[in-house]
């Protein structure tokens, strides 16, 4: 799927390593008095070109695009530092088309089940956490994409507003929060439409 065959997490690590090595290489030379202040601060133009290319690749590989059948598109930025395994599993399965339903018990969320990811995605960066008052909570304010990694369910969730994730009225579940929705107002508009009008097909793919 990817030209490089690597996730953006891996590219980010290599990019950081490259920057570190570049700085060492630049600082290891002993410039003359006339050159001092130039080589210690200005990388070779080729180095700048490589850094720009790496930035573009990272941007291209860290966004999802979700298109709604009845019109409207959302983009979301992956939280690869907080949910790396979930992000990797989501990316590997793309593109995916399915029908979203509106949550019955959880709150402001549309979702579909049976996302074609592998079965061993761990729980990470979950909605279940200790809040600012030191209380255990499963409430989330929304504006994110989340994933329920239970192998029998595998829910892909577009959380457009406040939720308390549930399978049943009295059964709460934790969700992995793996991406931040870029246009939260648009998410509210599209999520509310599904609430009013019912099932709608969506396509999830990597944003180019």
> What does the pLDDT read at residue 129?
86
Predicted TM-score (pTM) of this structure = 0.72
The domain limits of the chain are 8-60, 63-206
Nearest to residue 187, comparing CAs of 118, 110, 116?
A: 110
| Inter-helix orientation angle 45-60/8-28, to 10° | 160
> What does the pLDDT read at residue 36?
44
> What does the pLDDT read at residue 108?
98
CATH class of 63-206: mainly beta
> What does the pLDDT read at residue 11?
46
| pLDDT digit string (tens) for the chain, length 208 residues | 333 334 444 444 544 444 444 443 434 444 444 444 444 455 566 666 666 555 544 444 589 999 999 999 999 999 999 999 999 999 999 999 999 999 999 999 999 999 999 999 999 999 998 878 888 899 999 999 999 999 999 999 999 999 999 988 889 999 999 999 999 999 999 999 999 999 999 999 999 7
- Rounded CA-CA distance 184/74 in Å is 9
């Amino acid at each position: 799927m990817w030209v490089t065959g690597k996730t953006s997490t891996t590219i980010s690590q290599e990019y950081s390593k490259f920057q570190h090595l570049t700085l060492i290489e630049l600082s290891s030379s002993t410039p003359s008095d006339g050159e001092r202040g130039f080589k210690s601060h200005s990388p070779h133009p080729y180095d700048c070109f490589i850094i720009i290319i790496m930035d573009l690749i990272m941007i291209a590989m860290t966004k999802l695009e979700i298109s709604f059948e009845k019109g409207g598109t959302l983009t979301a930025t992956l939280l690869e530092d907080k949910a790396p395994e979930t992000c990797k599993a989501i990316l590997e399965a793309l593109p995916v088309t399915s029908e979203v339903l509106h949550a019955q018990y959880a709150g402001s969320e549309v979702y579909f089940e049976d996302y074609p990811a592998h079965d061993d995605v761990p729980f990470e960066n979950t909605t279940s956490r200790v809040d600012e008052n030191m209380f255990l909570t499963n409430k989330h304010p929304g504006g994110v994409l989340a994933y329920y990694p239970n192998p029998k369910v595998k829910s892909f969730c577009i959380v457009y507003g406040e939720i308390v994730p549930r399978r049943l009225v009295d059964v709460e579940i934790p969700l992995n929060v793996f991406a931040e929705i870029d246009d939260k107002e648009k998410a509210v508009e599209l999520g509310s439409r599904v609430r009013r009008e019912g099932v709608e097909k969506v396509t999830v793919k990597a944003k180019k």
